[in-house]
Structure 1
Amino acid sequence: FDAGFTSREEALEYGCRPGDTIVPDVETIWTANKKRMISKSWDNRYGCTVVLEALKAVKDETLPNTLIAGANVQEEVGLRGTGPSVTKFNPDLFFAVDCSAADDINGSKETFGHLDQGFLLRILDPGMVTLPRMKEFLEDTALTHNIPFQYFVSQGGTDAGKAHLMNQGVPSAVIGVCARYIHTHQTMFSIKDYEAAREMVIQTIRALDRSTVNTILDGRTN
């Protein structure tokens, strides 16, 4: 951050102090074709927005499970919020709803994370290999409801990397979207991908009855 001050005294005179926090002043806008949006902090405003919309969608339904939703703090600096929340609520399963870096600028189809190709079904990242039964559950749910998705291998982690190691092991997965230029002031994401992820979260909530959870946990069907 460079405000153009010429001395420490001048910076202090304008109210700047060591340890002050700053935020980017960015307006959320549509792209010209209305297919994508540019905003700051889509990683992870995406997760907060999708979860809130999913809760609205199922609020009047009788769910086959106990649904716990929250926003964990300080994921970017050490997955710090995940530990207390997983310890407190002791979930059977854990789903991180998170945004990842797109890698589609050079036009290669061999990279992971392409805008407009659906939500991200994460297979592997440095912190977690997705449990095959969790992957299969997400695949089956997406295919049943015709929700577009793309497989994803990531160089970065999510809260799932911490959650799956806790409480003697919590099966975890990530329902994600990709976005360009994450961790900068201007992030571009696809509305189509967002809508796919939102529908996936909603259908995941509806699908997790006791039998399905048992199958994911240990292969049992009742």
Structure 2
Amino acid sequence: MKLKERLIQLSNLDGIAGREEMVGEHLAASIPQKHFQDEFKNSYFGDLETEKKRLAVYAHLDEVGFFVREIDPDGFIYFQPIGGWWGHVMLGQSVRITARKNNHSYRGIIGTLPEGSVMGEAVVSIDKMYIDLGVDNQEEVVKLGIQVGDMITPDTQARESENGQYIIGKALDNRVGCSILAEVMNYFYTRSLSQLEVIGVATAQEEAGTRGSKVAAPKVNGDINIIIDVANGKDTPKAAVRKTRVLGSGPGICLYDKTALANMELADALQETAEQAQLPWQFDQFTGGGTDAGSVQLYAGKPTIVLSIPVRYCHSWNSMVNLTDCQNTVQLICHYIERLERKLRESDDTL
């Protein structure tokens, strides 16, 4: 399967924190290595019993979304956000509610009228928003099987951009990372490594406080950890004083986020690998958020780094990623692993 096709399929799956089953099943079906899922819904690919040096590649399964908080007597549904949302991207948008009683999905519209019916400069707070299913009362909602706690996701279908260079869709945070993880694992399935075991880790509940990686890190105990995640592109008009995270300019070698500092030797090795392979790359820093790197790094202090793929309009109904950035991230990780394998093999031969 091509990366583009895989990314479109993964984008269209629904899976907020704690409800990642469909995404995990898709990866399990498309990654050939031995698969194990823990009770937290983290998925692991590769040999967790290996005695070789472990290189772990992480990506989180879940997307930002919502769940049903309350159904009022008139059938309007109030909801709880899971992950970071901005109110100004939400009003009038179509959503899917997945009823866990029957696994059916129902479409509704996010609506509200601000006080005085005048929007002005105000952003409506999410707790005042509701979902309108086009029904007349609470009883109709209940008959559909919808109940408090049911998953709500953007009602969006992923697609290619007009020039075919971008994918536009929901949940690119972090189905982009999942797609790259699958490509890396498939690449090394047919290539023998004597010194390294590449372990893929697809974590749950990252958007709800990097919870899955806290469970996964001790099971994996990676000697080197590469976390694949996305970061909001700053290359659009008025997005930033200085353009950073430019789409099409390659993955970001992330030196800092609010939960982790990069291992600089690992950062330098990735930079050198990119330059030798003539792959585009850019430095990055997350000043406003954290990643699974914090949990992984703090488990045993092993070398850990984030590779960030720039994505425009992150945490919205229609995010956008450049396909070459995804492909170059796959190549960078694969080149780095092969380079490290050669280095370890040469070191072993001299003993």
Q: Into which bin does the TM-score normalised by the smaller protein fall? A: 0.7 to 0.9
Distance verdict in 2 for CA 1:210–1:88, change over 3 Å: farther
Q: Choose 153-162 or 69-78, whichever is displaced more.
A: 153-162
Percentage of identical aligned residues: 27
Deviation at 1:81, TM superposition (A): 1.1
Q: Does 1:95 align with 2:226?
A: yes
1:10-89 matches, cutoff 5 A: 10-63=140-193, 64-89=195-220
Letter in 2 for 1:145: A
Deviation at 1:15, TM superposition (A): 2.9
Tell me, in whole angstroms, the C-alpha distance in 2 between the residues paired with 1:166 and 1:149.
Answer: 28
Residue among 279, 284, 292 paired with 1:159? 292
Residue 311 of structure 2 corresponds to which residue in structure 1? 179
Tell me, in whole angstroms, the C-alpha distance in 1 between the residues paired with 2:242 and 2:210.
Answer: 30
Distance verdict in 2 for CA 1:77–1:12, change over 3 Å: same
SS of alignment partner, residue 66 of structure 1: strand
Q: Choose 67-76 or 197-206, whichever is displaced more.
A: 197-206
SS of alignment partner, residue 310 of structure 2: strand
Q: Choose 11-20 or 176-185, whichever is displaced more.
A: 11-20
Deviation at 1:14, TM superposition (A): 3.5
Q: How many residue pairs align between the two structures?
A: 214
Residue among 334, 343, 351 paired with 1:202? 334
1:159-206 deviations in Å (ceiling 9; x for gaps): 111111112x12100122010111112111111211111111211221
CA contact (8 A) 1:175 1:201 kept: no
Distance verdict in 2 for CA 1:178–1:148, change over 3 Å: same
Tell me, in whole angstroms, the C-alpha distance in 2 between the residues paired with 1:66 and 1:81.
Answer: 21
Residue 216 of structure 1 corresponds to which residue in structure 2? none
Letter in 1 for 2:307: I
TM-score, with length taken from structure 1: 0.88
SS of alignment partner, residue 152 of structure 2: coil
Letter in 1 for 2:155: D
Larger Rg: 2
Tell me, in whole angstroms, the C-alpha distance in 1 between the residues paired with 2:190 and 2:146.
Answer: 49
TM-score, with length taken from structure 2: 0.57
Deviation at 1:5, TM superposition (A): 4.4
1:69-89 deviations in Å (ceiling 9; x for gaps): 120111111111112221012
Deviation at 1:22, TM superposition (A): 2.3
Root mean square deviation of aligned Cα: 2.2
Letter in 2 for 1:32: E
The structure with the greater share of residues assigned to strand is 2
Q: Choose 59-68 or 75-84, whichever is displaced more.
A: 59-68
CA contact (8 A) 2:284 2:308 kept: no
Letter in 1 for 2:170: K
Tell me, in whole angstroms, the C-alpha distance in 1 between the residues paired with 2:265 and 2:215.
Answer: 26
- Runs of 5+ unmatched residues, structure 2: 1-109, 111-130, 345-350
Residue among 296, 309, 320 paired with 1:188? 320
Q: Does 1:120 align with 2:252?
A: yes
Deviation at 1:112, TM superposition (A): 2.5
CA contact (8 A) 1:180 1:189 kept: yes
Deviation at 1:211, TM superposition (A): 5.2
Tell me, in whole angstroms, the C-alpha distance in 2 between the residues paired with 1:163 and 1:127.
Answer: 10
